Amino acid sequence: MSRTHFGVTVDGLDVDMIELRNKNGVVVKCISYGCRITNILLPSPQGPADIILGYDKLSEYEADKTWQGAFVGRYANRIKGAAFSLGGKDYALMKNEGGNYLHGALEKRVFTVEESDGKSVKFKTISEDGEEGFPGELEITVVYSLGDDNRFTMEYFARTSADTHINFTNHSYFDLSCGRDGTIEKHLMRIESDAILETTDDYIPTVEMNVEGTPFDFRNRKPIGRDIGADDKNLKIMGGYDNNYNLKQGKPGELVFAAEATSPEGERSIRVFTTLPAIQFYTANHLDGTLTGKGRTFNKRAAFTLETQSYPDAPNRPDFPSTLLKPGEEYHETTVFEFGF
């Protein structure tokens, strides 16, 4: 069966697990709790290799505060001061990282499974007007699909009843070595970007910075750990990489290549394509060994994320690509993870 019961939340809501499988033996498992991706299994001579961190039990996902595998919204990344102005009105958002807004809380929501056939699944939910402080009732649809070309596609759709800002992403933590090396510092990374956004001490973006000649230059692939300890104020603020990389844009709705990661031994890889204007590269700097899952301890730099997104704090930055969604419009963005093994 492609759909099974995963558990019951503390609020008494049933949570389903959906398994997507292709002809090559790739398996992606996800749950209706936060549309979380719980497992990505790639074939290997030793058996299925799970390339993301995660947990075995629903209760662990409910207690999680690190967005393991989660669909993130209503606004991925940070909004300065947890506030913005729109249409002459000020909106105060929930503050969940000091005085700022970070990611939101949709990862704690049980979504409705509308369709599931073993190749794709459609999740839906309604975020009420005023939820997290955002204007507009938001109808959200998340579609995951797995093709026989080993491409896992995530599509995000939304419609709103009032002008609002929106930014969705997925927050899976990847380790292509599946725990063999302890950290992902030997992984080879390439990011198709000439510039990052510099930040303040509390991670709010300031100005665009060209990556040439800096530790943030991944235009030619290199080990993640090569420059991670460099004497750089941004790296010191973050404790590693946690940066918005600005991507080269194609036509509206066109997938562009964003990044590629390869395990140190070269046996597994992931290529990322997206319609979104940026990608957040994060090296799990805040995992500290206090969390465990799937028989592993989540230590610092045990994994990395490649979170395709719009720019952080765009509601307060008219110079950034707009994240405004109006009634009558449809938000539709796509990200593809292409697996190699």
Residues acting as catalytic residues: 171, 307
How many CA within 13 A on the CB side of residue 108?
A: 11
Q: Give the β-pairing of 3-8 and 14-21.
A: antiparallel
Calculate the alpha carbon distances from 278 to 186, 196, 273, 341 in Å. 24, 9, 11, 26
Give every CB contact of residue 270 below 8 A, 6+ residues apart in sequence. Answer: 51, 174, 176, 260, 261, 306, 337, 338, 339, 340
Sheet holding 278-282, edge to edge: 205-210, 195-199, 242-246, 278-282, 305-309
CA distance 67 to 75: 13
Beta bridge partner(s), residue 318: none
Q: What is the 3-state secondary structure (H, E, C) of 23-76?
A: CCCCEEEEECECCCEEEEEECCCCCCEECECCCCCHHHHHHCCCCCCEEECCEC
Strand pairing partners for 75?
A: 167
Q: Please state whether the peptide bond connecting residue 151 to the residue before it is cis, i.e. omega within 30 degrees of 0.
A: no
Query: CA 145 to CA 116: how far, in whole Å?
Result: 10
Other beta carbons within 10 angstroms of residue 327's beta carbon come to: 12
Write the CA distances from 158 to 89, 294, 331, integer angstroms: 22, 33, 5
DSSP 8-state symbol, 231: S
User: What type of residue sits at position 170?
Assistant: N
| Contact between 223 and 187 (Cβ < 8 Å) | yes
